Amino acid sequence: MTLIDVFTTGGTIDKVYFDALSEFHVGPTTLSDILAENNVYAQHRVTQLMRKDSLELTAEDRAAIYDAVMASEAEHILITHGTDTMVETGKKLAGIKNKTIVLTGSLQPARIKNSDAAFNVGFAFAAVQTLPHGVYVAMNGQIFDPAITRKDREAGRFVENP
């Protein structure tokens, strides 16, 4: 069986509401819960690399993500990430050989009713097993090449550059 190595970096998908602060923060990753609740039997390992809004990710953070991917023995790498700079991280990883790397996230926190988190993780979880080597953004039920993609914040979706 093939190992799927899941790295979590934070982003909206992992946001929780802290009443004591009256604020919403990135919490512990929801990925293990999502994979368990959905009865996933594919071999996988979940590693929380960081817990950040993707607007706050630094060059050092991206280097840490890059290093984690390079250090993994797995051919199939799934990364959960805030949507605002997901494309930027995808570009940073573009040179990595011999791996299928898929980035996903969600526009609504996993803990919100009707969140897109479970669908998106499911979508990315198939994409990472079936796509050829390379780096991909898996959002909105579509596969994107980060080199030619951007997030359209107003529309709440990813689109290819014109």
Interaction site with a second copy (CB under 8 A): 12, 15, 17, 19-20, 22-24, 34-35, 37-42, 44, 53, 55, 82-84, 107-109, 111-114, 116, 118-127, 129-131, 138, 140-143, 153-154, 156-157
SS3 86: helix
For residues 68 and 7, the answer to whether their CB atoms sit within 8 Å is yes
Rounded Cα distance, 149 and 162, in Å? 9
Write down the least CB distance from residue 47 to a second copy, Å: 17
Write down the least CB distance from residue 150 to a second copy, Å: 14
Please identify, using beta-carbon distances, which residue of 65 and 128 lies nearer to a second copy: 128
Please identify, using beta-carbon distances, which residue of 47 and 67 lies nearer to a second copy: 47
Please identify, using beta-carbon distances, which residue of 66 and 129 lies nearer to a second copy: 129
CA dihedral (53, 59, 65, 66) positive or negative: positive
Residue 140 DSSP symbol: T
Write down the least CB distance from residue 67 to a second copy, Å: 26
Q: Single out the residue of 130, 127, 149 nearest to residue 138, CA to CA.
A: 127
